[in-house]
Amino acid sequence: MSFFTEKDWSSQTLRSFDNVALFIRVHLKNVYHTLCCALLISAFGIYLHVLWNTGGIITTLGFIGSMGWLFSIAPWKERTRVNLLMFAALCSGASIGHLLELVMIAPSKVITAYLGTAMAFYCFAEAITTSQDRVYIYVLGVLSSNLSILIGLLLASTFFGVSIAIFPMCLYFELLLWYMVLDSQAIIVHARHGDVYCVHHALTFFTDLPALLIGLIRNIRGNNVQQPPAEEQSGRRRRRSGRR
């Protein structure tokens, strides 16, 4: 069932903030918990690659094969699909760990991004159980996620010696949280039309995460580029003017 081809869909749908039914709240909680576990396993896959260099062609083929197998299974076989998603998340983390070596990005920063995103999903999963008011759920989810992520970043920087650019990380997570709100709005519309398959909705975000991660990597790389000294810059300007 495609969200953007639904007959009853309109631009007002995503701007609706009415109360959320109990079965939809249970469904959202399951989706958030599934994504939280998948991201934790992906972070563990990156860590395994750092320890034993597990990433490579085998993990890439494992990810492609498990995802293909997942899409071939009927959506109501949730347990099998969840297991395949977790295996795909592990292979994805190991494969991304190998990619990080090619682009010269510290794996600790990406692991921090995965753990922070998993923490945000856990906060949203707990917020969804507190009320049926959609605005209250989103506000509580965003505020608790911001506080938890900020504390996590400070602890990682203080106790574990992880060098993190706090402001770019916070900006990334802030954009991510509002993307989660938009994605939750779409999931609620799906659920009201009878689509309450947990893995199906979890995959929507999980497959979008690499694009968000690329944005984070580009942001971190931009902040880590070392500018040449002022004397070297002035020397280059003099050489250019001399050539003219």
Is the residue at 117 inside a domain?
Answer: yes
The answer for residues whose C-beta is within 8 angstroms of residue 41's C-beta and 6 or more apart is 86, 89, 90, 93
227: confidence class by pLDDT, cuts 50, 70, 90: very low
Is the residue at 138 inside a domain?
Answer: yes
Which pLDDT score, from 0 to 100, does residue 231 have?
Answer: 46
Model confidence, pTM? 0.83
Average pLDDT over residues 131-144: 92
Does residue 240 surpass a pLDDT of 50? no
Which pLDDT score, from 0 to 100, does residue 44 have?
Answer: 95
Contact 80, 29 (CB under 8 A): no
Which pLDDT score, from 0 to 100, does residue 161 have?
Answer: 58
Residues 164-181 pLDDT 10s = 666 777 777 888 888 889
72: confidence class by pLDDT, cuts 50, 70, 90: very high
What angle is formed at CA 35 by the lines to CA 33 and CA 41, rounded to 5 degrees?
Answer: 105
Largest CA distance in the chain: 74
Is the residue at 193 inside a domain?
Answer: yes
Residues 74-93 pLDDT 10s = 988 999 999 999 999 999 99
26: confidence class by pLDDT, cuts 50, 70, 90: very high
Rounded CA-CA distance 69/53 in Å is: 26
Q: What's the CA dihedral at 117, 218, 108, 114 to 10 degrees? A: 10
Which pLDDT score, from 0 to 100, does residue 152 have?
Answer: 82
Is the residue at 9 inside a domain?
Answer: no
Domain span holding position 199: 22-218
Is the residue at 47 inside a domain?
Answer: yes
Residues 204-223 pLDDT 10s = 888 877 667 666 656 655 55
Average pLDDT over residues 127-155: 90
Higher pLDDT pick, 115 / 159: 115
Share of the chain above pLDDT 90, in %: 38
Residues 179-188 pLDDT 10s = 889 889 889 9
What angle is formed at CA 110 by the lines to CA 207 and CA 205, rounded to 5 degrees?
Answer: 20
Is the residue at 231 inside a domain?
Answer: no
Which pLDDT score, from 0 to 100, does residue 105 have?
Answer: 74
Which pLDDT score, from 0 to 100, does residue 236 have?
Answer: 45
Residues 125-162 as b/e (b if ≥16 CB within 10 A, e otherwise) read bebbeeeeebeebbebbbebbbebbeebbeebbeeeee
Is the residue at 227 inside a domain?
Answer: no
Contact 84, 73 (CB under 8 A): yes
100: confidence class by pLDDT, cuts 50, 70, 90: confident
Count of domains forming the chain: 1
Is the residue at 243 inside a domain?
Answer: no
Mean residue pLDDT across the chain: 81
Does residue 62 surpass a pLDDT of 90? yes
